[in-house]
Structure formats: C-alpha cells, structure tokens
Amino acid sequence: MFSPDGRRISVPFQEARDHYAINVLDVGIGNGHLVARLPFNVNFRAAWTDNGTALIVNRQENISHIVLFDRFWEAPTQ
C-alpha cells in the first residue's frame, strides 16, 4: 500500500513458517528495509496513517469452538 505522499510502499510478507514481517520500499531510490517482525499474520495489507508516520495492520486469527449439545431433542420433563 502506498504512503499518503506516494513515496513509499508497505509490503507485508511471510518471512518463515509462522513469522511475518513488513518491508517499506522507497519508490524514488528503489530500495527497502525491514520495519517490523510480527508473531501473527498481517491480513491483506499494512495501511498508513494519514500523516504517513505509522502503519496500521490487521491481525488474522482463526478461532475454533467445539460445542456439544447433549439430548437437546428431548422434551423437558415436568
């Protein structure tokens, strides 16, 4: 995603199996540098704040729930 001034691009990527990172590339000179290593997956992109001084990331997390309904089909006894 481009920074507000259009001079930089944030690039989230998977660095290793369970490690993610964000690079910032300078469009004018064509090089980049690592700005963050994260213990979670960045969902879609890293967005810039309006003044271009910080990045905002979404955390992607999968949550599973197991629910057991026992005898829910029987009428209650009175």
pLDDT > 70? residue 20? yes
Determine the Cα–Cα distance for residues 16 and 78; give it in Å rounded to an integer.
59
| pLDDT given at position 71 | 54
Q: What is the pLDDT of residues 37-52, one digit of tens each?
A: 887 776 667 788 888 8
Q: What is the pLDDT of residues 31-40, one digit of tens each?
A: 888 888 887 7
φ and ψ at residue 14, rounded to 5 degrees: -90, 115
pLDDT > 80? residue 3? yes
| pLDDT given at position 72 | 47
Give residue for tokens 């209650």. 76
